[in-house]
Amino acid sequence: MIDSLCCRSRLRDKNAGVKSAFALITLVICIAARSFPVSAVVFVTNGVLTVWKGKIPASSYVRLLLVPAAFLLAGMAVIIVNISDVPMDAFAIPAGRWYLTGSRHAVLEALELGGAAMASVTCLYFLALNTSVTDILGVLRALHCPSLLTELMMLIYRFIFLLMETASALMTAQEARLGNRNLRTGLRSFGMMGTALFLRSLKRANALYDAMEARCYDGEIRVLARKQPAEAGDILLTVLFEAALTGVMIWSRIR
Amino acid sequence: MTKKEKILLKASAAFAVLFAAAPVANAMHIMEGYLPAGYCIAWGVVCLPFLVAGFLSLKKKIKENRRNMTLIAMAGAFIFVISSLKIPAPTGSCSHMTGTGLGAILFGPAAVSILGIIVLLFQAILLAHGGLTTLGANTFSMAVAGPLVSFGIYKLCGKLKVNRKVSVFLAACLGDLFTYCVTSIQLALANPSEAGGVGASAVKFLGVFAPTQLPLAVIEGILTVVIVIGLETYAGPELRRIGFLPERSAGASADIAEGHGTEKGGAGK
């Protein structure tokens, strides 16, 4: 999971608001522009920030970048390849009476889309790899997101790790008893694991509520956020970068 | 080798790579940055009424009994964990459940819309599945459309007195298929094909994702049946006490009690 990498990041103690603003504004510009120059700048900048400044291991970063690759390849293939009875200008492979064919315009469009998508993924990773979930929740709270939602998210985030641990213990036990011998037993085991997990999570939830009640829970969870004041330099750099990026976008539009 | 043969070879190699990478591909999350800005906003707006309805229903549930807070959070975490674990698939590759059908049957479509958007957000941040800008589109297909269909089918089958296993299977399986269709249409709307427009594009997207999604829907259906039947066997009282199965009428709960008895008898043998 990304979370464990995030704890190692050197940029972790920077102000979460600045990091989120940087990632989100860059993301929006990147999608709005959808052009090679903007995508290239964003891709390189985020790569440098995450791997060089944040000291996230390059191998993990590359592996993460490959996660959406299958989806992207399929998505681009669909845009490029048409089935038509008239061949188009980029390529045409005859298949019986029809052609698997595509136009130069579509190829260019698909490549631009691929570039923009990969660049946006680096924005997401910059945020995810350098900002802990608790900090992101702090930003949401500062943006006046309803407290019910932020509290729910905080609890869910905590529970995810509890349940993951339980699930992995259950699955190890099943594996040790040849529970995944073939597809049939595998499906059965997974279903039984789901049932047991659900039951245990209900018990955990009740126990947790009792514990919270014993500590004066009154419908609101108050947490002390660690203070990470925004540094003027970081804000300035972010503003400059976004301005430059907007410049590149306008330049690539009017070119 | 002629030029055409070379191209054919390259194309087939690319296709093979695609399917070698396919096991990594999860359920139908639209990746970050794939949709143009206008579509991101539009799908977010479409989701809004469902999210507001879900928010209000959760608020009411928590007001009724504060204990529901931890339970709802646990339900969200449960959906996340179930959808992030690898399940065995017939091709030997590994895929993930979506958990939408299960969530809709257990918690109702309103709660699932809010839990769904939170789970999708965490999947983007923690697992790199989906993204922030495509959150709206993904929420619509996975946390609104799919669960609504699942819940509708589940209710309908209940009315028609269809066998419980069959109805749960149909609800989860068809909900999953519907999610997959909606996602394909979302992708097609954003990328209409040059020859044939949105319709042709939708068919192409459906075709590309069919090899992974069709078996997955069947598996999702089977797993949901195993889990729901397991829960009704071992956790009937808990489920009813908590009110997660509010649709349970007296007759149906008798059905569970009976199932409980026979199951116990079976285990005793």
Work out the minimum CA distance from B93 to partner chain A, whole angstroms: 11
Quick one: closest CA in A to B89, which residue? A183
Model's pTM, two decimal places? 0.84
Name the CA radius of gyration of chain A, rounded: 24
- pLDDT at B220 exceeding the cut of 50: yes
Q: What is the DSSP letter of A178?
A: T
Enumerate the residues of chain B whose CB falls inside 8 A of the CB of residue A7.
none
How far apart are the C-alpha atoms of B180 and A59, rounded to whole Å?
32
Q: What is the DSSP letter of B26?
A: -
Q: Which two tokens stand for residue B228?
A: 């729901």
- What Cα–Cα distance (Å) separates residue B164 from each residue in A197, B5, B101, B104? 22, 54, 14, 15
B115-137 tens-digit pLDDT: 999 999 999 998 888 889 999 99
Work out the minimum CA distance from A232 to partner chain B, whole angstroms: 27
DSSP string, B156-207: HHHHTT--HHHHHHHHHHHHHHHHHHHHHHHHHHHS-BTTTHHHHHHHHHHH
How far apart are the C-alpha atoms of A149 and A131, rounded to whole Å?
19
* CB spacing of A117 vs B31 below 8 angstroms: yes
Closest to B98 in 3D by CA, of B114, B79, B112, B111: B79
How many other CB atoms are there within 10 angstroms of residue B233's CB atom?
A: 17
Average pLDDT, chain B: 79
Q: What is the pLDDT of residue B210?
A: 83
Reported confidence tier of residue B258, pLDDT bands at 50, 70, 90: very low
* Segment among A170-179, B168-177, B211-220, B232-241 with least mean pLDDT: B232-241
pLDDT < 50 positions in chain A? none
Q: What is the DSSP letter of B22?
A: G
* CB spacing of B66 vs A217 below 8 angstroms: yes
- pLDDT at B259 exceeding the cut of 60: no
How far apart are the C-alpha atoms of B191 and B266, rounded to whole Å?
55
* Segment among A134-143, B134-143, B193-202 with least mean pLDDT: B193-202
Kind of pairing between the strands at A91-95 and A82-84? unpaired
B70-103 tens-digit pLDDT: 888 888 999 999 888 877 665 555 577 888 888 8
Q: What is the pLDDT of residue B174?
A: 93
- What Cα–Cα distance (Å) separates residue B46 from each residue in A83, B41, B104, B125, B135? 32, 9, 19, 23, 12
* CB spacing of B122 vs A133 below 8 angstroms: yes
* CB spacing of B128 vs A77 below 8 angstroms: no
Work out the minimum CA distance from A192 to partner chain B, whole angstroms: 6
CA A194, distance to chain mean position in Å, is: 25
* CB spacing of B128 vs A125 below 8 angstroms: yes
- pLDDT at B268 exceeding the cut of 60: no
Any idea what the Cα angle at residue B225 is, between residues B180 and B93, rounded to 5°?
55
Q: What is the pLDDT of residue B88?
A: 67
Quick one: closest CA in A to B208, which residue? A74
- pLDDT at B15 exceeding the cut of 90: no
**Residue to substitute from A6, A28, A35, A78, interface B, most B β-carbons within 10 A:** A78
Q: Over range B217-241, report the average pLDDT.
A: 82
Q: Which domains does chain B have, with CATH numbers?
A: 27-258 (1.10.1760.20)
- pLDDT at B52 exceeding the cut of 90: yes
Q: Which of B66, B72, B77 sits opposite A219 (nearest CB)?
A: B66
Residue predicted with more confidence, B241 or B265: B241
Q: Which of B22, B132, B231 sits opposite A195 (nearest CB)?
A: B231
Provide the ipTM: 0.89
- pLDDT at B249 exceeding the cut of 60: no
Any residues with CB less than 8 A from the CB of A72 and at least 6 apart, and which? Answer: A114, A117, A118, B31, B34
Work out the minimum CA distance from A180 to partner chain B, whole angstroms: 8
Q: What is the pLDDT of residue B21?
A: 44
Three-state SS string over B88-101 comes to: ECCCCCEEECCCHH
How many other CB atoms are there within 10 angstroms of residue A101's CB atom?
A: 24
